[in-house]
Structure 1
Amino acid sequence: MTPPPPATDPATDPQGAHAPGARQTGTLAVVTVSYASESVLPGFLGSIEQATAAHPLVVVADNKPGAVGPSPAASLAEQHGATYVPLPANPGYGGGMNAAVAALPASVEWVLISNPDIVLHPGALDLLVATGASAADIGSVGPQVLTDGVTYPSARSVPSLRNGIGHALFARVWPENPWTKRYHAGSPEAGAADVGWLSGSCLLVRRTAFEQLGGFDESYFMYFEDVDLGYRLGKAGWRNRYEPAAVVEHSGGHSTVNESAVMIAAHHKSAYRFLSQKYRGPLLFPLRLALRAGLAVRTRLETRGKRA
């Protein structure tokens, strides 16, 4: 990925360091990626203060800075004392997050990776950090994610071919099917638990673990970069810990109501890519073929009547 241009950082700029609301640099940082996200960024940035007693460094990477005039995301970042990192091209969610983390000083040990349409509940970030710091082998911690007041299944097992095919075929028409139940591993009722992967919509990572793996795999432009990260963390000996007592609100980005046919197809393409890489070799070709067929059927079912 092309290195990002120099960031605008009020924490290090001689004038910005004394600007109202400028955040201090420490061991905690919050990073987000904006793609024309001006409508939701104020809610996210404004919720950070209530989520932690610390003063984290905040970075906004902009995947769509615009060619003419100042970016709205830049103005919002400045208002909230955040570092602004405009990217020359759109590298996708994972690439944008990698660029944001790369802009952090070496002192940062914990990084909250979050969508800009998240609102952090009071104390949520402090609880995530405390959970991560409770054991040296915890590489990531995920909160309970609410969408429209309903808990989104943000803590899951790593997809297998059996569960992947079953979930792909039946999740929408038979929500209580056994494959989807096994895939949705974590729940608030079950309490804190180790899981296969955690939703990248809001995820605390131990920086050493994240950088050990090279961050997100940027070949996933859209979807499944978080599945892949959790899987690789687990393979490297790190734990992915679900902490439902920490709560965040997602403004609906996980809902498929407004998804286009292109986005649905991209999701299923990434799902196939992940599983086909996990299950390689000629002997597993028939299973990969069945998976491709199952995802193709689900794509057709879900894209009926959707806009392109």
Structure 2
Amino acid sequence: MNKIAVVILNWNGVKLLEQFLPSVVQFSPEAIIYVADNASTDSSIAYVKEHFPTVRIVVNDGNYGYAQGYNDALQYIDADIYALVNSDIEVTENWLQPILDTFVKEPKTAIIQPKILDFKSKAYFEYAGAAGGFIDKYGYPFCRGRIFDTIEKDNNQYDDNCELFWASGACFFIRSTVYKELKGFDEGFFAHQEEIDLCWRAINLGHTIKYNSQAVVYHVGGATLQQGNPRKTFLNFRNSLLMLTKNLPKEGFYGILFARLVLDGIAGVQFLTQGKFKHTWAIVKAHFSFYSLFYKYYKTRINFQTQEYYIVKSIVFLYYVKRIRVFKDIFNNNQINNP
């Protein structure tokens, strides 16, 4: 098999391909590059064929979002390592070699994330991944370098290569054997939080997830759904609940799930007070969609979920009550599992 395949999922993104595909081709001599196209109706495929004839194209028969889009395309790609890269990512010189070195030296490492900085403000981390992800007891995700809407400047404070709970889907490296073992992403998610779910399932099976600061990419973010889009709110809230249903340990399962539903309700009220009525309605729809899917997802649970999946009990409490806004301050204030 080929050592590494860089796979860019695309849907009607010819402008993004024009802007970012050149850097991927220039700085990825170790890889075979693929564009996995979700049935685009623009000139994406024609552009790639004309300007980058060495880039291979896999065409899906519909726009199935991130999860099924990758699942369908990767069936036709042989590689030891899949590098799943958003179409709005600018890569840098030598971005692949540190990742490959880690996979070679650490056979237990199954998934790796690079340092993800903001393309629009390159001195800062980017929202979707930053320096690697964690979740709290109630399933709220946060990153080293980004807690909720507080984004840190990159001052090399996260230049270690540490273990993570989840790696960002914006630039996501995974061993193909592990991807197949996990049966890929959960296609019911469509988009958003499917990478966290996959990482949690990988950890439940004993695999390790790492961050590698020596590999650096720049991400535009929000190129598919902007942060303020109610559809994004719906998917994030619904998918997080489905992920908890699948992966929470048996002990305290219903209590944690109920607490999360209450916290979501508080978030909905907060949206109301801000005049964001569509987002409140999106949370309501997310909950009803979750109720309709609960039994289906409950049946997918396994019997050996990890008990130690979170490093803080409530990131909401730390952020909004204790006013801790920087990841390192969680440790500096001795807040690990003790909010």
Give the alignment's TM-score, normalised by structure 2. 0.69
Q: Which residue of 1 aligns with 2:203?
A: 234
Matched, 1:27 2:3: yes
Q: Supply the distance in 2 between the matched residues of 1:277 and 1:158 (Cα, whole angstroms).
A: 15
Q: Which residue of 2 aligns with 1:219?
A: 188
Aligned-residue sequence identity (percent) comes to: 21
Q: Deviations over 1:163-207 (max 9, x none)?
A: 63999xxx658x59xxxxxxxxxx852510111110010011111
Gaps spanning 5+ residues in structure 2: where? Answer: 279-339
Q: Which residue of 1 aligns with 2:137?
A: 160
CA contact (8 A) 1:265 1:299 kept: no
Instruction: Go from structure 1 to structure 2 and tell me whether the alpha carbon gap of 1:257 and 1:125 turns closer, same or farther (over 3 Å shift).
Output: same
CA contact (8 A) 1:63 1:87 kept: yes
CA contact (8 A) 2:134 2:142 kept: no
- Give 1:156's aligned amino acid: G
CA contact (8 A) 1:224 1:271 kept: yes
More displaced, 121-130 or 150-159?
Answer: 150-159
Q: Supply the distance in 2 between the matched residues of 1:306 and 1:39 (Cα, whole angstroms).
A: 31
Shift of 1:53: 3.4
More displaced, 274-283 or 196-205?
Answer: 274-283
CA contact (8 A) 1:94 1:221 kept: yes
Q: Which residue of 1 aligns with 2:23?
A: 47
CA contact (8 A) 1:51 1:120 kept: yes
CA contact (8 A) 1:52 1:126 kept: no
- Give 2:68's aligned amino acid: G
Shift of 1:301: 3.5
Q: Supply the distance in 2 between the matched residues of 1:52 and 1:235 (Cα, whole angstroms).
A: 32
- Give 1:121's aligned amino acid: T
Alignment of 1:189-200 (within 5 A): 189=158, 191-200=160-169
CA contact (8 A) 2:163 2:208 kept: yes
Q: Supply the distance in 1 between the matched residues of 2:213 and 2:141 (Cα, whole angstroms).
A: 28
Gaps spanning 5+ residues in structure 1: where? Answer: 1-24, 177-186
CA contact (8 A) 2:111 2:209 kept: yes
Q: Supply the distance in 1 between the matched residues of 2:96 and 2:116 (Cα, whole angstroms).
A: 13
Alignment RMSD (CA, Å)? 3.0
- Aligned residue pairs total 263
- Give 2:8's aligned amino acid: T
SS state of the match for residue 140, structure 1?
strand
Q: Deviations over 1:207-244 (max 9, x none)?
A: 11111111111121121110011111112222111001
More displaced, 247-256 or 96-105?
Answer: 247-256
SS state of the match for residue 124, structure 1?
coil
CA contact (8 A) 1:59 1:82 kept: yes
Shift of 1:45: 1.7
Alignment of 1:266-281 (within 5 A): 266-279=235-248
Give the alignment's TM-score, normalised by structure 1. 0.75
